[in-house]
Structure 1
Amino acid sequence: MSRPGESRLGFWLVMAPALTLSLVCFGVPALFMARMSLNGHEPMTAYVDGFTFEHYRRLLSDQLIAGVIWNTARLAFLASILTVVLAYAFALLVWLRPGRWRIMFIGLALLPMLISEIAIIFGWWMVFPKNGLLSYLLMSAGLINNKISMMYTEGAALVGLVYVTLPYCFFILLSVFDGIDRRTLEAASDLGAPPLTTFYEVILPQTIVGLFAAFAQAFIWTMGAYATPLALGPDTLWTLGYLIQDQMLSKHHWPMAATLSMALMLGVAGMIVVVRWLQPTQRAFHV
Structure 2
Amino acid sequence: MMQKKRKKTKKQLETWALLLPILVIFIFFFLLPLFFLFITSFKTFDASSGIANEWTIQNYVKFLSDPFYLGIVWRTVKIALLTTIITIVISYPVAFHISKANGRIKNYLTLLVLSPLLISMVIRCYGWSILLSNNGVVNNTLMSLGWIDKPLTLLYTELSVVIGMVHVLFPYMVLSIMGSLERIDPSVIRASQNLGAGPVRTFFSIVLPLTLPGIFAGSVMVFSLSVSSFVTPAILGGPQVKVMSYLAYEQAAVLLNWPYGAAIGFLLIFIATITIIMYSKILVRSEKGVAIQ
Other-structure match for 2:61: 57
For the aligned residue pairs, the C-alpha RMSD in angstroms reads: 2.4
* CA distance in structure 1 between the aligned counterparts of 2:158 and 2:57, rounded to whole angstroms: 34
Other-structure match for 2:147: 144
8 Å CA contact retained: 1:154, 1:234: no
Distance 1:282 1:200, change over 3 A: closer
Q: Are 2:252 and 1:261 equivalent residues in the alignment?
A: no
Matches of residues 7-46 of structure 1 in structure 2 within 5 Å? 11-46=15-50
The one-letter code of the counterpart of 2:201 is T
The one-letter code of the counterpart of 1:161 is M
8 Å CA contact retained: 1:161, 1:228: yes
8 Å CA contact retained: 2:157, 2:240: no
Distance 1:59 1:183, change over 3 A: same
1:205 is aligned, of 195, 209, 222, to: 209
After the TM superposition, which of the residue ranges 228-237 and 202-211 deviates more from structure 2?
228-237
Q: Are 2:68 and 1:70 equivalent residues in the alignment?
A: no
Matches of residues 201-240 of structure 1 in structure 2 within 5 Å? 201-233=205-237, 235-240=239-244
State the Cα distance separating 1:284 from its structure 2 match.
5.0
After the TM superposition, which of the residue ranges 96-105 and 152-161 deviates more from structure 2?
96-105
Q: Are 2:254 and 1:250 equivalent residues in the alignment?
A: yes
8 Å CA contact retained: 1:40, 1:48: yes
* CA distance in structure 2 between the aligned counterparts of 1:226 and 1:46, rounded to whole angstroms: 25
SS in 2 for 1:40: strand
1:128 is aligned, of 118, 125, 132, to: 132
| TM-score, length-scaled by structure 2 | 0.87
* CA distance in structure 2 between the aligned counterparts of 1:35 and 1:145, rounded to whole angstroms: 53
Other-structure match for 2:96: 92
8 Å CA contact retained: 1:45, 1:252: no
State the Cα distance separating 1:64 from its structure 2 match.
1.8
* CA distance in structure 1 between the aligned counterparts of 2:283 and 2:28, rounded to whole angstroms: 30
Q: Percent identity?
A: 26
Aligned length: 284
Structure 2 residues not aligned, in runs of 5+: none
2:105 is aligned, of 101, 107, 124, to: 101
* CA distance in structure 2 between the aligned counterparts of 1:13 and 1:276, rounded to whole angstroms: 33
| TM-score, length-scaled by structure 1 | 0.89
Distance 1:16 1:277, change over 3 A: farther
Q: 1:62-87 CA distances to partner (integer Å, 9 max, x unpaired)?
A: 22211111111111111111112222
Structure 1 residues not aligned, in runs of 5+: none
Distance 1:13 1:234, change over 3 A: closer
* CA distance in structure 1 between the aligned counterparts of 2:273 and 2:26, rounded to whole angstroms: 16
State the Cα distance separating 1:160 from its structure 2 match.
0.4
